[in-house]
Amino acid sequence: MNKENEPQNLSDSIASKIKRGQIKMRPKAYFIAKLAILLIGMSILTVVTLFLVSFILFSIRQSGLLFLPNFGFPGMKILILSLPWLLILGVIALVITSEVFAKHFSFVYRQPMLYSFLAIIIFAILGGVALDFTPFHANLLTSARNGKLPIAGPFYREMGSPKMKNAFYGSIFEITNSGFKINTPQSDELNIVVGPKTKNMDSDLEVGDSVLILGKKINLDIEASDIKKVEETHGFLPGPKFPNRPTIKDFPGSLRRP
Amino acid sequence: MEQNWQKKSDEDLARQVQNGNTQLFGLIVDRYETKIGRYAKKFVYDQDDIKDVLQEIFIKAYVNIKSFDTARKLSPWIYRIAHNELVNTLRKKKKNTLPLFNLDTFLPRGFSENEINKENDHRDVKQMINTCLAALEPKYKEPTILYYLDELSYSEISEILQIPISTVGVRIKRAREKMQKAYLTQKKYEQGK
């Protein structure tokens, strides 16, 4: 049809295009599939968000970061520097993406965004805490360390118990003449040197105690400046203890005060 | 036959189109062409552009009609398509665009449609709209047109713009204040001449 023959009226013009098959209705299945993709996408986002939030909580607990505020300002500084920021940024990105997805629903966009943001954040935190209560991450970390977790293994080994900057967390397994040795959550053995630079130290340390140490690493030795005994059930929430933790039964004996 | 359909509601017509009675889509176009055209003219000024935008809006409405829930009202659904099309057109032309996100949708605000005296308010503002609409930013202009010219409710405007109902109220209130200011300035200028 040339331009001269085209109808001038808009409804006639559209009717003519419909008649000629130039425009076609999308089938209902198309919209159902679109909604299904949206819901699947939201479900995946929810699972990944809950996984990451619970993993962050687990790794914070696992690494002993939660106990750093006990050391006052220097501890807080190390805590801020050692937080798994990459994972935290990932969670923030997921929360924003979840908000974008949720905005497709009228019950979300009809309310101020603050409400939906808060709802997503509260759900992510509560869900993450609930998942952290289970032995899920501890089991996966154990599998990763035993080489039985092929895909997520490197992620768990690397991020599962992150190292802190100038702070060390572990369980005492041997008393030495210069101090003591600890087993870290990363399964490393560290030699803690208690000397003139050690300003503060709890007096009742024994084999099997969990300790947090501030100090500098020189080769394989840690020159401790502060040593604090920590209760693993103390802090944010009790959870599964880190694997391979030695107990007093494994290392009988008592710690001599230096 | 057509006489009967003329009396049917928009939603009934949409249901018929969904079920294959496609020639009835022309009736929907007839019912909305003027309204949507008036709405589009407040943002797009070139006559050919307006024609193209209108055509595109109704083609999209036809293509996607099976996504329309006939239990709801048709007008917000068509206006939503028009809003999206206008956003795209203005973006292509790099004109002062309709915002995708605004901070005023973030915080809760207490505002309800019952707070204003509808009759007096509509009469006063309609007078101002003719002379002062250009003084408004697109984010204020859009709900003002939909509320005062197209006479849609806050709830319907919220559905079209996909923003909270309270934000619709706040934007309309601010638009009214801005137009009042512009109107008074213009009157003073005219009196001074």
Q: What is the CATH number of the domain that holds B21?
A: 1.10.1740.10
Q: Is A17 on the interface with B (CB under 8 A)?
A: yes
The whole-angstrom distance between B115's CA and the closest CA on chain A is 19
Is residue B182 assigned to a domain?
yes
Q: Do A10 and B166 touch (CB under 8 A)?
A: no
Q: Are residues B59 and B104 in the same domain?
A: no
Q: Do A109 and B64 touch (CB under 8 A)?
A: no
Q: Is A118 on the interface with B (CB under 8 A)?
A: no
CATH placement of domain A166-255? 2.40.50.140
Domain of residue B32: give its range. 9-97
Q: Are residues B67 and B24 in the same domain?
A: yes
Q: Do B105 and A112 touch (CB under 8 A)?
A: yes
Q: Do B58 and A14 touch (CB under 8 A)?
A: yes
Q: Are residues B79 and B25 in the same domain?
A: yes
- Name every residue whose Cβ is closer than 8 Å to that of residue B78 and which is 6 or more positions away in sequence: B28, B32, B36, B57, B61
The pLDDT averaged over each successive group of 10 residues in chain A (258 residues) is: 60 89 93 96 96 91 80 86 91 95 91 93 95 87 80 76 79 86 81 85 80 85 87 42 43 40
Q: Contact, A128 vs A28, CB < 8 A?
A: no
The whole-angstrom distance between A47's CA and the closest CA on chain B is 26
Q: Do A18 and B62 touch (CB under 8 A)?
A: yes
Q: Which pLDDT value is given to residue A31? A: 96
Quickly list DSSP for A136-173: HHHHHHHHHHTT--TTTHHHHHHHSSPPPSSEEEEEEE
Closest Cβ–Cβ partner in A15, A24, A110 for B26? A15
Report whether pLDDT(B127) > 90.
Answer: no
Q: Are residues B111 and B178 in the same domain?
A: yes
Q: Are residues B154 and B172 in the same domain?
A: yes
- Last residue of some domain: B35, B65, B97? B97
Q: Which pLDDT value is given to residue A5? A: 55
Q: Which pLDDT value is given to residue A88? A: 94
Identify each DSSP E strand in A48-178 by its residue range: 167-175
**Distance from C-alpha of A102 to C-alpha of A108, rounded to nearest angstrom:** 6
The whole-angstrom distance between A27's CA and the closest CA on chain B is 7
Q: Are residues B141 and B183 in the same domain?
A: yes
- Name every residue whose Cβ is closer than 8 Å to that of residue B125 and which is 6 or more positions away in sequence: B144, B148, B176, B179
The whole-angstrom distance between B181's CA and the closest CA on chain A is 28
Is residue B4 assigned to a domain?
no
Measured between beta carbons, which residues in chain A are less than 8 angstroms from residue B64? 26, 31
Is residue B29 assigned to a domain?
yes
Q: Which pLDDT value is given to residue A252? A: 41
Q: Are residues B165 and B192 in the same domain?
A: yes
Is residue B14 assigned to a domain?
yes
Q: Are residues B54 and B69 in the same domain?
A: yes
Is residue B2 assigned to a domain?
no
Q: Could you give the maximum distance between any two Cα atoms of chain B, in Å?
A: 63
Q: Do B66 and A24 touch (CB under 8 A)?
A: no
**ipTM score for this prediction:** 0.79
Pairing mode of beta strands A189-193, A221-230: parallel
Report whether pLDDT(B68) > 50.
Answer: yes
- Last residue of some domain: B39, B68, B97? B97
Is residue B1 assigned to a domain?
no
What is the domain-level CATH number for residue B167?
1.10.10.10
Closest Cβ–Cβ partner in B30, B65, B159 for A25? B65
Q: Which pLDDT value is given to residue A245? A: 44
Is residue B38 assigned to a domain?
yes
Q: Contact, A132 vs B125, CB < 8 A?
A: no
Q: Contact, A23 vs B61, CB < 8 A?
A: no
Give the SS3 label for residue A225.
Answer: strand
List chain A domain ranges: 28-158, 166-255
The whole-angstrom distance between B160's CA and the closest CA on chain A is 10
Q: Are residues B117 and B189 in the same domain?
A: yes
Report whether pLDDT(B10) > 50.
Answer: yes
Residue A77: count other Cβ atoms within 10 Å of its Cβ: 15
Q: Are residues B77 and B163 in the same domain?
A: no
Which pLDDT tens digit goes with each residue over B84-106? 999 888 888 776 566 666 777 77
Q: What percent of chain B has pLDDT over 90?
A: 47
Q: Which pLDDT value is given to residue B118? A: 60
What's the rounded mean pLDDT across residues B165-191?
86
- Last residue of some domain: B29, B62, B97? B97
Measured between beta carbons, which residues in chain B are less than 8 angstroms from residue A103? 162
- Of the candidates A26, A8, A25, A21, the residue with the CA atom closest to the CA atom of residue B55: A8
Q: Is A109 on the interface with B (CB under 8 A)?
A: yes
Amino acid, single-letter form, for residue B9? S
What's the rounded mean pLDDT across residues B157-166?
92
Q: Do A112 and B59 touch (CB under 8 A)?
A: no
- Domains contained in chain B, number: 2
